[in-house]
């Protein structure tokens, strides 16, 4: 039985990823920072997939803005070792969105917090997972990255920088881990229909239709399908990026509706 570990999967895209792996019969371990939310999500997953083992694990990325909680990562993998669970696919979905960061206004620690979670913590998770994958002859890692790794959006300096850093991390890991039969790849979503977009109806009404050739944004299942491709099918693919953004990245300027 194969196992996926999915970070940040109590809500939004992470749920679709957990459900994809569970529906394929994999054991799924997922994480969240709030123990009550983790417990509630675990119950819901177990009800939906009674024949599959699903384990929620409560873990935070940081001790404070400047410090990644490496000990917590070690404890999580020790917990899995004790249960005899080896992670075949690590899905790095959790992200600090670093919303509302204004140039000249935020303290440096706001930037550090986002970089620490999205790059440093993710590296720490990769290292611990990859050590074990190496021992069993292979595995794979999938970053849920973002097309903001290539194109900036306003007031999100830390997030955009972190996603760019994450792509560099993905490539460096792919190179160093290839010899252990560990593949490392990234999904680059554009806009995903999560509660954040639903709470922002003006933006949602105007932006997807003008900024994506397909005229619609992704849903969690689109991202989950792409993750599944890398995890289960892409035997000879590593260091690759799969953009799931309705064509958002390749469009140079907004489509202005013709006046009637
Ligand atoms: N939504 C989009 O439009 C969009 C677009 C492009 C890329 N993406 C990427 O796709 C992935 C999923 O997006 P999403 O919108 O579904 O994400 P989300 O709901 O904003 O975040 C996923 C989870 O990350 C966890 N998280 C946040 N800050 C954290 C921290 N400091 N330490 C540990 N975990 C933390 C949260 O889980 P808990 O609060 O339960 O701990 C959260 O539920 C992310 O990597 C995101 O960057 C999203």
pLDDT of residue 259: 80
Per-residue DSSP letter, 118: I
pLDDT digits (tens), the chain, 260 positions:
899 999 999 999 999 999 999 999 999 999 999 999 999 999 999 999 999 999 999 999 999 999 999 999 999 999 999 999 999 999 999 999 999 899 999 999 999 999 999 999 999 999 999 999 999 999 999 999 999 999 999 999 999 999 999 999 999 999 999 999 999 999 999 999 988 877 888 887 778 878 899 988 899 999 999 999 999 999 999 999 999 999 999 999 988 878 87
Per the CATH hierarchy, to which homologous superfamily does domain 3-250 belong?
Answer: NAD(P)-binding Rossmann-like Domain (3.40.50.720)
- The model carries a pTM of 0.97
Distance, CA 118 to ligand 1 centroid (Å)?
10
pLDDT of residue 210: 87
Nearest to 93 by CA among 11, 14, 10, 184: 14
**H/E segment holding residue 63:** strand 62-64
15 lines ligand 1 (CB under 6 A): no
SS3 of residue 135 by DSSP:
helix
Q: CB–CB of 113/65 below 8 Å?
A: yes
98 lines ligand 1 (CB under 6 A): no
- What is the rounded CA–CA span in Å between residue 114 and residue 153? 15
Q: For a ligand 1 pocket test, name from 95, 162, 189 the mutation site with the most ligand atoms within 8 angstroms of its C-beta.
A: 95
Domain residues of the chain, as ranges?
3-250
pLDDT of residue 59: 98
Residues 89-126: b if buried by 16+ CB within 10 A, e if exposed: bbbbbbbbebeebeeeeeeeebbbbbbbbbbbbbbbbb
Q: For a ligand 1 pocket test, name from 5, 6, 7, 8 the mutation site with the most ligand atoms within 8 angstroms of its C-beta.
A: 8
Distance, CA 247 to ligand 1 centroid (Å)?
22
What is each CA distance from 70 to 9, 67, 138, 196, 221, in whole angstroms?
20, 9, 23, 30, 31
**H/E segment holding residue 244:** strand 241-244
Structure tokens given for 237: 């693919």
C-alpha torsion sign, points 194, 146, 9, 234: positive
């Amino acid at each position: 039985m194969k196992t996926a570990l999915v970070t940040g999967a109590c809500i939004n895209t992470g749920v679709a990823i957990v459900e994809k792996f569970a529906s394929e019969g994999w054991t799924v371990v997922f994480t969240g920072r709030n123990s009550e939310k983790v417990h509630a999500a675990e119950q819901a997953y177990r009800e939906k997939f009674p024949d599959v083992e699903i384990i929620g694990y409560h873990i935070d990325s940081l001790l404070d803005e400047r410090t990644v909680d490496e000990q917590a990562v070690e404890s999580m993998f020790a917990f899995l070792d004790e249960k005899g669970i080896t992670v075949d696919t690590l899905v790095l979905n959790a992200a600090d969105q670093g919303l509302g960061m204004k140039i000249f206004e935020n303290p440096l620690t706001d930037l550090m917090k986002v970089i620490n979670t999205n790059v440093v913590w993710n590296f720490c998770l990769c290292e611990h997972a990859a050590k074990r994958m190496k021992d069993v002859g292979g595995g794979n890692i999938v970053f849920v990255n973002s097309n903001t790794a290539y194109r900036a959006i306003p007031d999100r300096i830390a997030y955009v920088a972190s996603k760019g850093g994450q792509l560099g991390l993905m490539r460096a890991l792919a190179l160093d881990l290839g010899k252990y039969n560990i593949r490392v790849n990234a999904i680059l979503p554009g806009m995903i229909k999560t509660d954040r977009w639903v709470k922002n109806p003006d933006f949602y009404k105007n932006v997807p239709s003008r900024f994506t050739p397909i005229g619609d944004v992704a849903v969690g299942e689109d991202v989950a399908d792409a993750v599944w491709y890398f995890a289960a099918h892409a035997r000879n693919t590593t260091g690759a990026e799969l953009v799931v953004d309705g064509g958002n990245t390749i469009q140079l300027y907004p489509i202005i509706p013709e006046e009637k």
